Structure 1
């Protein structure tokens, strides 16, 4: 439950940040929801793969099935809105090549000189896919060495990025300290596991404090990790509270956590819809007033929940069912071929 609550907090925080950052500085805290998503992602990756024999290819297929279809759908909707003049930020790219790169999760500069995918919030998914790529390849290594190797790779990349001069955009992207937030999540996943029963309480507490201490020290080199350290502390505290039985069941928060991906992806669609209606009503202030911003936030959350229930869940089930069927047939073919050779 704690991870679902945190996913809800991250998604709603980002939505509030995008609408209210100009209203009060307190809403800038919402921008750290991105780092919270990265930490949670690291926890889930380790928790779901430790102690299991998973082929890297199967892992990649599973992650792509989970992330890509809804992202592609959101990107398509964004492109349609741009084509009819509803979505038109100053940094939007109409280039077909840039659209293809965006759908392939490849960060690239657009014609405005900005490294932003067609759906601007998709930059976080470019990081996610890079995390999955590195983590997935390490599944070929024995489990006891994975976290050590992952730590070495991400620390080396982040250190290299810190030494680079400004201007090498793609290299800076893949050497960002965001990698270390994902790594911290992997450490928490190794300590707790998704069932929260891996280690006895006090050894686990010591390891958690060690992770937070290392993050705090790294923050002197990577300022981004100041917020990252606070994020890891928050996540660890909630996971600890759940393990100790202090986590209440909050159905509404669970629902938002389940729908967090759709809320995150389609928030701009909701904002644009509200803006378009306000223009039709000749309401000149648009989304610059607090009431209209509140309306946009409410619609973004409601739209995300609806899309999760009626699109994301059935679409993901159908895709995974088709993939499972394909993999089953492929496995049967391999066994038949092996039997024939014998």
Structure 2
């Protein structure tokens, strides 16, 4: 299957920026200017659905990037090593930084945070926070708890031949969802992992199978798919949680399909798009710090709810988040990834973007 790296990188970059914009909107409405969300630009559009795009991309990329591992003895070890190397170092670094900051400012949250909740944040195990939600210390890390669970399920079957392994993975994900009504609410982790949102990973896997079989769509068809996705998302700005996999996951699948089911050319912008895609993971994890920092400055300067100050807040936050992401990617994520990948003795498949 030909690699369409720029298109996937563009999708990843867009998904990360959507999440950043969603949290900037929340900061504007709740923490700073008290501007009702309906009065903000793009208010009917659920920008947080960028998370759903990430999940579809993850399913797609795992099914493709593991091509050389299917059917190999010990493949599960190599697969999990590659995923841990990709996900863990940066996430742990930022979680440690957040924890240090909380101790430095003597955050009252620590008074109600148990040792297990802290440990669970590093182990990718869902645990209830002081507010009763199954999220880790770094709030956005809840998505990684799903990602890691998906990787474990995928690893269980990767030693089988590709068709059987992917079918078994799909069945396992569907079984998880099927048992959810019977899971006691006190079983926090299992209740979390059995959320229907995991079907979005399956959507990415199925899309990869179609592309592998040669599915190519015309540019007009793909544009129509993107337009349809935008309309559906705008139609369902308020989330009905049990149906998120369909309301937001469906449009996410359309967007990713539009990116991979045909050639995409960015011309002289190709390098920029690829670099933004490279930054997407760091941007997703670190933008919280940028929002908090700019919010503190805005409070100190006593910014009012004028359009210019609101716009300045949004632009400054996004710019600083991108800068922090670049520093982390170049100074930490990339060199650590290169060093740890030396321990992978298996020849790596052709380079594709990882989620």
Structure 2 length-normalised TM:
0.76
Shift of 1:68: 0.3
Partner of residue 42, structure 2:
26
Deviations 1:267-297 (A, max 9, x none): 1122222234445xx3235999512233112
Compute the RMSD of aligned alpha carbons.
3.2
TM-score under structure 1 length normalisation? 0.79
**Aligned 8 A contact 2:69 2:158 in 1:** no
Question: Is 2:96 aligned against 1:76?
Answer: yes
Which residue number in structure 1 is paired with residue 139 of structure 2? 120
Residue 302 of structure 2 corresponds to residue 284 of structure 1: yes
Give CA-to-partner distance per residue, 1:60-81, whole Å, 9 cap, x none. Answer: 1110011000000010111122
Does the CA contact (< 8 Å) of 1:286 and 1:292 recur in 2? no
- Asked if 1 retains the 8 angstrom alpha-carbon contact of 2:78 and 2:344, the reply is no
2:190 counterpart SS class: helix
Unaligned runs of 5+ in 2: 1-5, 30-36, 233-238, 348-355
Alpha carbons of 1:286 and 1:310: their partners in 2 closer, same or farther (altered >3 Å)? farther
Q: Displacement of 1:58 after TM fit?
A: 1.1
Q: Is the 8 A contact 2:60 2:208 kept in 1?
A: yes
CA deviation after TM superposition for structure 1 residue 93, in Å: 5.9
> Aligned in 2, Cα 1:91/1:170: closer, same or farther, shift over 3 Å?
farther
Note the residue ranges of structure 1 that are not aligned, 5 or more in a row: 329-342
Distance change in 2, residues 1:57/1:295 (3 Å)? same
The total of aligned residue pairs comes to: 305
Question: Counterpart in 1 of 2:174?
Answer: 155
Q: Tell me which residue corresponds to 2:338.
A: 317
Query: How far apart in 2 are the matches of 1:297 and 1:155?
Result: 37
Larger Rg: 1
CA distance in 1, matches of 2:303, 2:265: 45
Pairwise mapping of residues 136-175 of structure 1 onto structure 2 (< 5 A)?
136-162=155-181, 169-175=188-194
1:2 aligns with 2:20: no
Higher relative contact order (CA 8 A, sep 6+): 2
Provide the C-alpha distance between the structure 2 equivalents of 1:177 and 1:31, rounded to a whole number of angstroms: 17
The corresponding residue for 1:16 is 21
Distance 1:72 1:246 in 2: 36
Residues 238 and 301 of structure 1: CA distance in aligned 2, closer, same or farther (over 3 Å): same
Residue from 84, 94, 115 that aligns with 1:96: 115
